[in-house]
Amino acid sequence: MSMAILYHGEPNGPSLSVLAALAESGLEIECRAISLRAGERHGLPEVSDSTALDFAVEGEGPVLVIDGEAMSEAVFIAQYLDEAAGGCGLQPADPYARWQMLMWCRQATERLSPAAAYIGLHASAAGEAALDTIRSDDLRARWQDWLDGRFDEAKLADSRAKVAQFCQRIEDQLADGREWLMGSFSIADLETFAWIRSMRTLEAGAFSGKEALNAWLARVESRPSVQAALARSTTGEPERAFAPGPEINRWG
Amino acid sequence: MADITLYHWEPNANSGKPMLALEEKGVAYDSHYINMLEFDQHQPEYLAVNPQGTIPAMTHSKLVLTESTAIMEYVDEAFDGPALMPADPRDRWRVRWWMKFMDQWLGPSFSMIGWCTFVGPSLAHKSEEEREAMLARIPLPERRVAWRKAMFAEFSEAELAESRRRIGKGVELLEEELGKRQFVASNAYSLADINIFNSTYMLPVGNADICSPDLTPNIWRWLREVYQRPAVQRTWAKGSGRFTDRFTAVMEDFAA
């Protein structure tokens, strides 16, 4: 493979899912920890094509740089890792099962991740980035709101409701006794786990009494790939590390 | 004899994506036209197929698939015909990246302007009572909010300005991208081209101030090439009124 480097934040949210997917793939790619809350993602060396870094819908996620091209969006990086490894079992082979997995991931990235990121930012001390390095106007506006402590109560309430709904959705999905969300283990487990893990403390009520959900969380967490990803934390509290994520849907 | 049925509106934006993907693959399907402006998509007959009330949807034997981009990926994998995803993993990543960028960032901005200038006015002749009744049948709350804004012209100036900014920026990024390769995301025609063409084919008519042979030569070259594909021409010939008219107007320009 060409020269590849994975720049990642603390193993939480998209950085967690991609680090775990990398471990699942068995590929040898150099990992470099950066501080997302210090805006280091916007000053990476050796990036000649930064479009996908600057305009990622995901916001402050990990960046895989290959031959100078910055690759972003955790689900798609995970798919890339699976495919570059010749198929490491992170995606079902059957077209309909794959459609189901993509639909699940899309729900997670459109509904769960903006909500979890917003709740997480609200609970975090403001970051320290130099905003003039951020090329996307709307991402910069989300940073500015964070730095200024400007949070919308209606969006917070909606985010809490969305996290609770997603917890219920997982509980329902697992109701038939399946071990993993799509039947067999997949990117859907990693992406969902990575975003919801931090919510166990921030939105504890959404998890109470949900036995299938809590058992699934423990199963994903005990996978060696996830343990390896979590071990990359430099703070010891990755579930408290946040930076601006995807925007809340503009259409309400 | 097809065991595939596509429920779709015009060859435009989301409905056009699976129409064109099926056409490019050479897969025959039964077409079930849903008149979006009459809210067919919220009628019980269609809700029995897709309870979310969103279009398009596709059935393949007993399977039901929704969400246009995900349907396209299924179509490419499930049927024979020319591959619409590149083989190289990095190219595949880039196809997915551009489709998400369109579906979740640029596309909603095109839609907001489109709903404001076309969809909303198209419904203005209906009485307020009638429009309220149409809204009440929408299953997804977020779609209800969006439709209400379109029907009663409730988009704020700030929202519209932000959408116009994103369209300008998105066109700029697409122009840059098409300077790197022959097609969006790779050197082969792919789902990314199908996706993005469906939301940009009308730029020469609707946004001539930001898209022209002088301002965006790469987009122009790409549009000209995609317009001339037989599957694209067959797909837009299936449309009606405004959509096919716009397509034909640009096509005549390219042929001139």
Reference A251, options B104, B166, B236, B184; nearest CA is B104
Residue A189's H or E segment, with its range, is helix A187-196
For residues A171, A173, A174 and A179, what is the CA-based torsion angle, rounded to 10 degrees?
Answer: -130
Q: How many CB atoms lie within 10 A of CB A203?
A: 18
Residue B144 at interface with chain A, using a CB cutoff of 8 Å: no
* Amino acid (one-letter) located at A45: P
pLDDT at B22 over 60: yes
Query: Do the chains contact at A99 and B100, CB–CB below 8 Å?
Result: no
Distance CA A147, CA A117 (A): 15
The pLDDT confidence band at residue B115, using thresholds 50, 70 and 90, is confident
Query: Do the chains contact at B159 and A51, CB–CB below 8 Å?
Result: no
Query: Do the chains contact at B74 and A69, CB–CB below 8 Å?
Result: no
**Architecture of A95-223 per CATH?**
Up-down Bundle (1.20)
Distance CA B46, CA B58 (A): 11
Q: CATH topology of A4-84 equal to that of A95-223? A: no
Residue B160 at interface with chain A, using a CB cutoff of 8 Å: no
B248 to chain A nearest CA, in Å? 32
Report which DSSP code applies to A182: B
> Residue A251: what pLDDT?
73
Which of A99, A109, A247 should we substitute to test contact with B (largest number of B Cβ atoms within 10 Å)?
A99
* Amino acid (one-letter) located at A48: S
Which of B64, B75, B97 should we substitute to test contact with A (largest number of A Cβ atoms within 10 Å)?
B97
Distance CA B86, CA B193 (A): 12
What is the rounded end-to-end Cα distance, in angstroms, of chain A? 43
B23 to chain A nearest CA, in Å? 19
A3 to chain B nearest CA, in Å? 13
pTM above 0.90, yes or no: yes
Residue pair A215/A181 in contact by the 8 Å Cβ criterion: no
- Residue B73 has its nearest CB partner, among A83, A99, A249, at A99
Residue B96 at interface with chain A, using a CB cutoff of 8 Å: yes
> Domain A4-84: what homologous superfamily?
Glutaredoxin (3.40.30.10)
> Residue B151: what pLDDT?
87
Chain B residue closest in CA terms to A105: B70
Residue B64 at interface with chain A, using a CB cutoff of 8 Å: no
Distance CA A61, CA A48 (A): 18
Q: CA-CA distances (angstroms) from residue A73 to A51, A56, A245?
A: 12, 6, 11
> Residue A252: what pLDDT?
56
The per-type count for chain A, helices as H runs and strands as E runs, is 11, 4
* Amino acid (one-letter) located at A149: G
What burial class does residue B145 get, using C-beta atoms within 10 Å of its C-beta: 0-12 exposed, 13-18 middle, 19+ buried? middle
List the domain boundaries for chain A: 4-84, 95-223
Query: Do the chains contact at A96 and B89, CB–CB below 8 Å?
Result: no
pLDDT at B1 over 50: no
Place of tokens 């480097």: A5
Predicted ipTM? 0.98
pLDDT at B2 over 70: no
Query: Do the chains contact at B142 and A250, CB–CB below 8 Å?
Result: no
For residues A122, A123, A128 and A133, what is the CA-based torsion angle, rounded to 10 degrees?
Answer: -40
A95 to chain B nearest CA, in Å? 6
Of residues B205 and B77, the one with the higher pLDDT is B77
- Residue B89 has its nearest CB partner, among A69, A84, A250, at A84
Query: Do the chains contact at A76 and B97, CB–CB below 8 Å?
Result: yes
B141 to chain A nearest CA, in Å? 9
Residue B169 at interface with chain A, using a CB cutoff of 8 Å: yes
Residue pair A142/A52 in contact by the 8 Å Cβ criterion: no
Q: Which residues of chain A have pLDDT under 70?
A: 1-2, 252
Residue B6 makes CB contacts below 8 A (sequence gap 6+) with: B18, B19, B22, B29, B30, B31, B32, B56, B57, B58
Residue A122 at interface with chain B, using a CB cutoff of 8 Å: no
Chain A residue closest in CA terms to B112: A251
Per the DSSP assignment, residues forming a β-bridge with B63 are B60
* Amino acid (one-letter) located at A232: R
Tokens of A251: 């259409």
